[in-house]
């Protein structure tokens, strides 16, 4: 019968204590008070009388109690010594993966997970070395491999929950590396998590080294999670006439029993703007729309907050509220046509600030503040000049050139030739053949990806009766059915130039009458202007680069200082600092350029990733199977079942020490009863 702590069997020597006490016992120190010594005789106790056991039963009870205590502390284990997956008593490399993602805030998951780690630490045997890895979306080894329980517990105490989502792969990658690098003959991996389905991102590379014992501790429990949450917020521009206002609506979800009259409020700049009461169905959701709120020109922090429940972390969604910045566009049209300007005017994300000029009347001043110039079938704008237009594009501006009948190769000055990807070909008339269609379309390209949606419209239905092509083979995004380039893209400096082989005014084609026209034009404008949607909120885990904050930032960007909602300060960008800020906390982060502490901060709102709020789980057997080598080949051993359990596992399961402790207690109780009967009662005095 093996023992978990055989050294403590030395405690069996304590059996001799009652005997020694008896043998060396002297006369009682406390004399017995007696009325008179008149009839007593001096009779000192002879030593020989102490050599005999006066009460064998009492001695037996005491000895058995000592034996039971010594055995209990030695932690006996019944059954044969485990031989599977290595030898039990040999030292192990243990890696514990501890999930600390947002979902671990539910109920008592985190305390139970910590207790599970503590249990693993307690069961470490001499020579075992353990590595504690905390993971959420990322993974970090909190300790190096160590057998120092105090150090491991200190590392455990230093860990706290995060707002991050869950990913298993990084943590398992670290575990794989640490276990492979360890030199112990036995290896053990313990994964402690709630095993969210959204956290599953494993590949075949996740297998652990051979003969690794894999233990899983599922702290998620079987009871469904009851939680109310704000899952999303939508901010739209109020199109009604009047001052610029925004409409805020939120999507609420409810997992659990129906809830009536749940308070939900909209806060802007820390002030409660409106509070509504909604009924949430059982295991369902509801939408709530707030009244229009004035849209400030600069972003202000706002949030939609739900009445707090047992998991308050997902009861609010933070976002920025402001007027959406408009994309300033200069449209140079050779002839007056409503299609292009109207298509842009009704744009929402972003709104388009359209200025229309004829090419001949356009001036250099018209470029000021513009991010896009659309030269829609007109002569080259000599008022702007080739050099100035070129600089505009090179500086990051966008240019869309529609090649109609008013564009001729000779009308473009030589200085502006590089704005066109190639030589402009003569117009092709296909009116006799019922027009041409687009033969190919690169719908993977960002400029056209919008058209790949199910209801985005079919651009192939458009008929092109006349068109020009550009003599180029590079950057072709779409071709007519005869193979000539219909839409090309090429970069000039930091800007983009899109060349369209037809017009937007409906004279050479019926494109404006196609449903795809409007999204096409708006997307081409956004793409050419390199416009990026400034999100009102980001997910936790998103990286923010200096270039996201300033168009003027260089490759490394300027240095920025970020203040997290918790007050933590981070520096990123510039030399020697992280290249990007990784959002790890829910709330509104304030970002200021380095060296400008008084500058108005850029705000970034961050929220829990929606995937982390999906509390569905996967079967832990799936994990153990994925980490185990193929059946029939030597590989990791699963310990989710009782098979191949360690000596400590078996001892913990048997808990023999508990019964021994109980037996010792009962023996001591019996001893006290017997002792009370046999020992002379002490006289009492008044």
Partner 1 sequence: MSERLTLDPAALARIGNLELVARWVVEGFISGLHRSPHLGFSTDFAEHRPYVPGDDIRHVDWRVFARTERTYLKTYEADTNSNFTVLLDVSASMGFAHGGITKLAYAKLVAATLSWFSRRQRDRVGLVTFAEDVRDIVPPSARHLPNVLHALERATASGTGSLARPISKIAQSQPRRGIFLLLSDLYEPATDVLRALGPLTGAGHDVIVIQLLDAAERTFPFEDSTTFRDLESGERLPVSPGRIRARYVAAMDAHVTAMRAKLGGGRVDYRLVDTSQPLDRVLFDVLLRRAFLRTAV
Among 242, 454, 555, 683, binds partner 1 (CB under 8 A): 683
The DSSP code sequence of 208-275 is PPTTEEEEEEE-S-SSPPPEEEEEEEEEEE--SSSS-EEEEEEEEEEESS-EEEEEEEEEETTEEEEE
Give the nearer residue to partner 1 in terms of CB position, either 59 or 618: 59
- Number of Cβ atoms within 10 Å of the Cβ of 448: 22
Give the nearer residue to partner 1 in terms of CB position, either 454 or 683: 683
> Is residue 567 close enough to count as binding partner 1 by CB under 8 A?
no
CA distance 628 to 202: 12
> Is residue 57 close enough to count as binding partner 1 by CB under 8 A?
no
Q: Closest by alpha carbon to 196, among 622, 627, 638? A: 622
Least Å from the CB of residue 29 to partner 1: 9
Structure tokens given for 36 = 């008179």
Which range of residues in 33-41, 74-82, 336-344, 633-641 is near partner 1 by CB under 8 A? 33-41
Decide: 229 and 315 in contact? Cβ < 8 Å: yes
* DSSP state at residue 509: B
Which range of residues in 36-44, 122-130, 563-571, 591-599 is near partner 1 by CB under 8 A? 36-44
Least Å from the CB of residue 662 to partner 1: 32
> Is residue 183 close enough to count as binding partner 1 by CB under 8 A?
no
> Is residue 150 close enough to count as binding partner 1 by CB under 8 A?
no
> Is residue 684 close enough to count as binding partner 1 by CB under 8 A?
yes
Give the nearer residue to partner 1 in terms of CB position, either 42 or 455: 42
> Is residue 56 close enough to count as binding partner 1 by CB under 8 A?
no
* Residues with Cβ within 8 Å of residue 188, at least 6 apart in sequence: 92, 93, 94, 95, 212, 213, 214, 215, 639, 646
Give the nearer residue to partner 1 in terms of CB position, either 30 or 205: 30
* DSSP state at residue 17: H
Element housing 23 (H / E): helix 16-24
Among 44, 56, 242, 297, binds partner 1 (CB under 8 A): 44
Least Å from the CB of residue 94 to partner 1: 56
Which range of residues in 42-50, 286-294, 356-364, 491-499 is near partner 1 by CB under 8 A? 42-50
Give the nearer residue to partner 1 in terms of CB position, either 444 or 680: 680
Give the nearer residue to partner 1 in terms of CB position, either 27 or 533: 27
Least Å from the CB of residue 34 to partner 1: 5
> Is residue 46 close enough to count as binding partner 1 by CB under 8 A?
yes
* Residues with Cβ within 8 Å of residue 190, at least 6 apart in sequence: 94, 95, 96, 97, 116, 120, 214, 215, 216, 217
Q: What is the 3-state secondary structure (H, E, C) of 295-345?
A: CCCCCEEEEEEECCCCCHHHCEEEEEECCCCCEEEEEEECCCCHHHHHHHH
Decide: 341 and 525 in contact? Cβ < 8 Å: no
Kindly give the residue spans of alpha helices, DSSP state H, lying in 494-600. 517-528, 546-549
Which range of residues in 32-40, 237-245, 315-323, 349-357 is near partner 1 by CB under 8 A? 32-40
CA distance 497 to 530: 10
Give the nearer residue to partner 1 in terms of CB position, either 39 or 222: 39
Among 24, 27, 410, 426, binds partner 1 (CB under 8 A): 27
* Residues with Cβ within 8 Å of residue 282, at least 6 apart in sequence: 254, 256, 257, 258
The DSSP code sequence of 100-123 is -SGGGGSTTHHHHHHHHHHHHHHT
Q: Which of residues 489-528 bind partner 1 (CB under 8 A)?
A: none
CA distance 212 to 662: 36
Least Å from the CB of residue 676 to partner 1: 13
Q: Which of residues 457-486 bind partner 1 (CB under 8 A)?
A: none
> Is residue 659 close enough to count as binding partner 1 by CB under 8 A?
no
Give the nearer residue to partner 1 in terms of CB position, either 89 or 675: 675
- Number of Cβ atoms within 10 Å of the Cβ of 678: 11
Q: Which of residues 661-680 bind partner 1 (CB under 8 A)?
A: 679-680
Give the nearer residue to partner 1 in terms of CB position, either 271 or 676: 676
> Is residue 34 close enough to count as binding partner 1 by CB under 8 A?
yes
* Residues with Cβ within 8 Å of residue 425, at least 6 apart in sequence: 468, 469, 470, 471, 484
Which range of residues in 26-34, 292-300, 389-397, 443-451 is near partner 1 by CB under 8 A? 26-34
> Is residue 24 close enough to count as binding partner 1 by CB under 8 A?
no
Decide: 435 and 464 in contact? Cβ < 8 Å: yes
Q: Sign (positive/negative) of CA torsion 599, 600, 602, 605?
A: positive
> Is residue 223 close enough to count as binding partner 1 by CB under 8 A?
no
The DSSP code sequence of 573-593 is SSTTS-SSEEP-SSEEEEEEE
> Is residue 49 close enough to count as binding partner 1 by CB under 8 A?
yes
Give the nearer residue to partner 1 in terms of CB position, either 57 or 679: 679
Give the nearer residue to partner 1 in terms of CB position, either 54 or 342: 54
Least Å from the CB of residue 17 to partner 1: 19
> Is residue 47 close enough to count as binding partner 1 by CB under 8 A?
no
Least Å from the CB of residue 66 to partner 1: 23
- Number of Cβ atoms within 10 Å of the Cβ of 15: 17
Element housing 621 (H / E): helix 620-627
Structure tokens given for 483 = 């193979």
Which range of residues in 40-48, 353-361, 386-394, 434-442 is near partner 1 by CB under 8 A? 40-48
Least Å from the CB of residue 25 to partner 1: 9
User: Measured at the alpha carbon of residue 374, what is the angle toward residues 369 and 379, in degrees to the nearest 5?
Assistant: 115
> Is residue 37 close enough to count as binding partner 1 by CB under 8 A?
yes
Give the nearer residue to partner 1 in terms of CB position, either 30 or 641: 30
Binding site residues, partner 1, CB under 8 A? 27-28, 31-46, 49, 679-681, 683-686
């Amino acid at each position: 019968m093996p023992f978990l702590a055989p050294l403590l069997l030395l405690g069996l020597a304590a059996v001799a204590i009652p005997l020694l006490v008896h043998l060396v016992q002297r006369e009682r120190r406390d004399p017995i008070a007696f009325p008179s010594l008149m009839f007593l005789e001096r009779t000192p106790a002879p030593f020989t009388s102490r050599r005999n056991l006066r009460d064998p039963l009492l001695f037996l009870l005491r000895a058995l109690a000592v034996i039971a205590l010594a055995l209990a502390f030695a932690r006996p284990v019944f059954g044969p010594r485990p031989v599977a997956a290595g030898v039990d008593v040999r030292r192990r490399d243990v890696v514990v993966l501890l999930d600390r993602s947002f979902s671990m805030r539910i109920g008592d998951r985190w305390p139970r997970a910590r207790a599970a780690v503590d249990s693993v630490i307690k069961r470490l045997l001499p020579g075992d070395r353990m590595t504690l890895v905390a993971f959420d979306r990322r993974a970090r080894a909190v300790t190096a491999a160590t057998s120092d329980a105090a150090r491991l517990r200190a590392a455990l105490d230093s860990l706290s929950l995060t707002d991050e989502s869950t990913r298993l792969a990084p943590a398992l990658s670290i575990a794989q590396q640490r276990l492979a690098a360890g030199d112990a003959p036995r290896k053990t991996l313990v994964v402690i998590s709630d095993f969210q389905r959204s956290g599953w991102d494993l590949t075949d590379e996740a297998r652990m080294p051979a003969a690794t014992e894999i233990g899983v501790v599922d702290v998620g429990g079987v009871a469904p999670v009851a939680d109310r949450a704000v899952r999303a917020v939508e901010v739209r521009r109020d199109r009604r006439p009047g001052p610029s206002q925004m409409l805020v609506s939120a999507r609420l979800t409810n997992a659990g029993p129906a809830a009536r009259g749940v308070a939900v409020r909209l806060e802007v700049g820390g002030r409660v703007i409106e509070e509504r009461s909604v009924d949430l169905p059982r295991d369902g959701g509801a939408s709530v729309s707030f009244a229009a709120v004035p849209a400030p020109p600069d972003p202000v922090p706002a949030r939609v907050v739900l009445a707090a429940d047992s998991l308050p972390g997902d009861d609010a969604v933070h976002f920025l509220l402001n007027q959406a910045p408009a994309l300033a566009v200069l449209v140079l049209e050779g002839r007056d046509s409503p299609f292009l300007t109207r298509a842009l005017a009704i744009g929402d994300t972003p709104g388009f600030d359209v200025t229309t000029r004829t090419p001949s009347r356009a001036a250099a001043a018209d470029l000021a503040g513009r991010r896009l110039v659309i030269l829609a079938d007109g002569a080259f704008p000599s008022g702007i000049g080739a050099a100035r237009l070129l600089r505009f594009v090179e500086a990051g501006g966008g240019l869309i050139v529609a090649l109609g009948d008013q564009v001729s190769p000779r009308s473009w000055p030589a200085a502006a030739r590089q704005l066109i990807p190639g030589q402009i070909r003569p117009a092709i008339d296909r009116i006799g053949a019922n027009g041409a269609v687009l033969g190919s379309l690169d719908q993977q390209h960002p400029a056209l990806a919008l058209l790949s949606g199910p209801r985005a419209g079919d651009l192939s239905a458009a008929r092109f009766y006349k068109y020009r092509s550009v003599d180029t083979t590079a950057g072709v995004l779409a071709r007519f059915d005869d193979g000539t380039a219909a839409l090309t893209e090429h970069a000039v400096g930091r800007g983009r130039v899109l060349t369209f082989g037809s017009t937007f005014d409906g004279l050479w084609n019926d494109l404006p009458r196609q449903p795809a026209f409007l999204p096409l034009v708006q997307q081409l404008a956004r793409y050419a202007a390199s416009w990026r949607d400034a999100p009102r909120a980001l997910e936790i885990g998103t990286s923010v680069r200096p270039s996201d904050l300033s168009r003027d930032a260089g490759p490394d960007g300027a240095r920025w200082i970020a203040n997290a909602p918790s007050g933590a300060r981070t520096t990123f960008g510039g030399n020697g600092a992280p290249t990007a800020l990784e959002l790890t906390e829910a709330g509104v982060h304030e970002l200021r350029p380095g060296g400008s502490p008084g500058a108005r901060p850029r705000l970034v709102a961050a929220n829990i990733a929606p995937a982390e709020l999906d509390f569905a789980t996967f079967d832990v057997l799936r994990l153990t199977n994925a980490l185990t080598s193929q059946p029939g080949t030597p590989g990791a051993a699963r310990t989710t079942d009782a098979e191949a359990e360690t000596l400590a596992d078996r001892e913990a399961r048997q808990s023999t020490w508990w019964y021994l402790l109980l037996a010792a207690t009962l023996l001591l109780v019996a001893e006290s009863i017997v002792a009370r009967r046999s020992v002379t009662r002490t006289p009492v005095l008044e």
